[in-house]
Chains A and B, each alone.
Chain A
Amino acid sequence: MLFNSIDFAIFLPIVFFLYWFVCNRNLKVQNIFIVFASYLFYGWWDWRFLGLIIFSTLLDYSIGNFLRNEERISRRKALLWVSVIINLGFLGFFKYYNFFVDSFVNAFTFFGSTIDAGSLNIILPVGISFYTFQTLSYTIDVYKKELEPTKDIIAFSAFVCFFPQLVAGPIERAVNLLPQISTKRNFDKTQITDGLKLMLWGFFKKLVIADSLSPIVNDIFNNSSDYSSTTLIVGAVFFAFQIYGDFSGYSDIAIGISKLFGVELMSNFKFPYFSRNIGEFWRKWHISLSTWFRDYLYIPLGGSKGSQVSNIRNIFIIFIVSGFWHGANWTFVIWGLFHALLFLPSFITRTNRKFTGTINVLQSPKTFIFDILRFLQTFVLVTIGWVFFRSESINQALLYLKKMLFDFTADVYVHPSGYRMIDYFIMIICFVVFEYIIRNNERNPFYFKSKALRFCLYVLMIFAIILFYDDGVDRSFIYFQF
């Protein structure tokens, strides 16, 4: 069930009313209902894959409980590895099996021998990358004794399958979500209205920014060899906004829906295009994944505490693995590698954490101008990276970049269906300006004191949604494929 579908528009109010009116008696009933609603939500896509979630839930719940009573290090390690191998085994099979087989065959073909290895027709279960990482984080935290394993299987099931964030995150940590799931939620009017506002903002980003840019981006990337450099720049910049609108829009809707059920999820985006270097960008983009890799991969590898060589190795590992997490394609690996290379200079010169504070509007004009230039510099670099992310193959990405950056030609882009391009440029400019105004309030975009102004903004957002609604667009979220 997509958040932007009629099915969900019916599902959500029903679940909301049943949750607060019928199932509000005690915690157990609340959680049983959450599990039921979440399985229904997930099963709407393909009920066959529910078995995977249930298996993953039972596995990590059991391992957590074994770890509770186990003090021997070797046994504890063994239990952890069971969880890691089985969870990542499922992920590897469903997501990467064909990729590895194809890469293996290609490698042998390159060296002159041919091998016959058939790929399988595997359907990727929606959200497997997200819930696998979520359950793994629980087991790792329990193993590290940073979290007390839960005895409540219903609460644990609700933690794994909580429907607002089940299919595309934010990838929650047990330390944040499990205590909320294990405590009875009470009706909080402010939290619910905040949730509705965040949902509106998320829908705006998804329907107005991402969906309306999607046909233009598709046309430019699918026919990149026919277009001039200026058009390819438009394609890359539009994709930067499309993917941001799509994923951050999804995250905001997920956080907003969770609020309707009395649960606070972590922020996943903090206006990443207002970043002054790549380090800051990665502290603001897909935060739940970046911090997951930081805590469960980068730090266990030694983080930045070792020699310069091992530190740099760790940086490359985390970026490449993060890229590979996105999909079974070398383009994602190169995208990760590209970001590692961008990050490296500031890491070596210890300036990667130079910009950690919020951007102050009252700063001097000189600092303000420098900040704007830094935003632009980071945006240009990130946008070049997006070309790898969006392309079907490395070859396509390289040709795209070559034509965009080195064989410069200019003309005015005309979409085959005749879309009025000026509308999209105006829309993006308005979006960037509004995001700049709210740049310190990712959880409350309508924070303005004036009620009238807030109301005008709600109307404007809804009006923009109906102005840019495009009947023929594929409405699924980009990150669902990951």
Chain B
Amino acid sequence: MGSIIKKVIIYAVLVLLILEGLVRLFHLHNEMPNRFADTKGVEKWVPNQSEYSITGNRKQNVGQYRINDFGFNSVHDKYEPKEDAFEIALVGDSFIEGFHEDYTNSLGQQIEKNLSNTTVLEFGYAGYDLADELHLIHAYKDIFEKIDHTFIYIRFTDDLDRDAYQESSRLRLDTPFTRIAKQIKLLVYLKDIGALDPVLQLPGRIMNFISGKKEISLSEEELRKQEKLKNELSLNNFKTLLAEYPIDKEKFTFLLDSSLCTVQFLEYLNHNGYNFLDINTTFSKAKTPTTLIYDQHWSKSGRSLVAKLVLDYLDISATNY
């Protein structure tokens, strides 16, 4: 019995070591940059990091990122808008950050390449919600005042959960343990493809089992009620945040997916003069997948559609500049 256990352990260790080697050899793992909060309390990536972001198993999607001096993924080193030049800013979460595509072909770059004498500055950071985005814009008022037009990407379902900015808990995730774990590429790969989810959920399941807590399945009526409350809260949070961090309605446009928004929210935007650009108008007609495999983020085709939408919008709005 002892010998077989010993043999199984030796084999398991050897297999794990070889798998770690294979994952590294084929670069199956994702490389996430390190984060920090700058002197203005804005959470960003540590400047000047460059690696590959990999999504899905078997490297289904690979994108090279490059964190610039300012702490965002961009081809532009510095964000120094000039009064006499035309600049556009894209502010948002991972969708704008665009780790899923080479930084040279990001959403911002797709827009920039189609406009002459225009610079597109990207302020995308995974996990940003509207509070983060408005805090960033407020903290770097001097930059955003010089930028001619800013697009703020929001997802109604995720980005309006709070009504005030607070430093996020993401920074606390950067512990010595997670830093060591990040070095085990097999672990990074398995976590990213969801293979560790059952293991990570296990403690919670055991705790629920011990405490006798059961999963409560809500009726459709209760679910609808909950959703209605959440939607109302999101709208109120939006109002509170915009009252706290007012924006120039002429220079700012929200980029959103109307299929995720409530009618009340869209009506509120319309009645209060907030400009918005609806990506659902183009996504709903798309014939090829607009999102990645195993991932909700925009695919190449999805990004191109958004870029075209922005370009068309700028074309229409050009007379305003």
Contact = CB atoms under 8 A, between A and B. Distances in A.
Interface of A: 5-6, 20-21, 187, 189, 192-193, 196, 414, 416-420, 423, 455, 458-459, 462-463, 466-472
B293 A466 contact: no
11 contacts: A6-B202, A21-B1, A187-B1, A189-B3, A196-B8, A414-B288, A466-B193, A469-B57, A469-B194, A470-B57, A471-B193
A239 B152 CA distance: 45
Given A418-B293, A418-B299, A459-B18, A467 B4 contact: no
Contacts of A187: 1
Interface residues on B, range: 20 to 34
A192 to B, nearest CB: 6
Nearest to B206: A10
Given A5-B198, A463-B19, A468 B3 contact: no
B193 A472 contact: no
A193 B199 CA distance: 25
Given A459-B18, A462-B19, A466-B190, A472 B198 contact: no
B9 interface: no
B64 to A, nearest CB: 20
A463 B58 contact: no
Given A6-B202, A459-B18, A466 B299 contact: no
B1 A469 contact: no
B256 interface: no
A180 B207 CA distance: 39
A458 B11 contact: yes
Interface string B6-29: 011001001100110010000010
B294 A467 contact: no
A193 B8 CA distance: 9
B58 A468 contact: yes
Nearest to A4: B198
B199 A6 contact: yes
Given A458-B11, A459-B18, A463-B22, A420 B289 contact: no
A418 B297 CA distance: 13
Contact of B4 (A21, A189, A419): A189
Given A469-B57, A471-B197, A417 B19 contact: no
Interface of B: 1, 3-4, 7-8, 11, 14-15, 18-19, 22, 28, 57-58, 60, 189-190, 193-195, 197-199, 202, 288-289, 291-294, 299
Contact of A193 (B1, B4, B289, B292): B4
Contacts of A193: 4, 7
Nearest to B289: A418
Contacts of A192: 4
Which of B11, B288, B293 has the largest number of chain A CB atoms within 10 A? B293
B293 A467 contact: no
Nearest to A196: B8
B58 A420 contact: yes
B138 to A, nearest CB: 38
A414 B287 CA distance: 11
A472 B294 CA distance: 8
B116 to A, nearest CB: 33
Contacts of B299: 418
Given A466-B190, A469-B57, A417 B289 contact: yes
B292 A418 contact: yes
A93 to B, nearest CB: 28
Given A189-B4, A459-B18, A417 B293 contact: yes
B287 to A, nearest CB: 9
Closest CB pairs A-B (n = 9): A471-B194, A6-B198, A418-B289, A417-B293, A469-B195, A418-B293, A459-B18, A467-B58, A189-B4
B20 to A, nearest CB: 11
Nearest to A190: B4
B189 A466 contact: yes
A463 B292 CA distance: 23
Contacts of B1: 20-21, 187
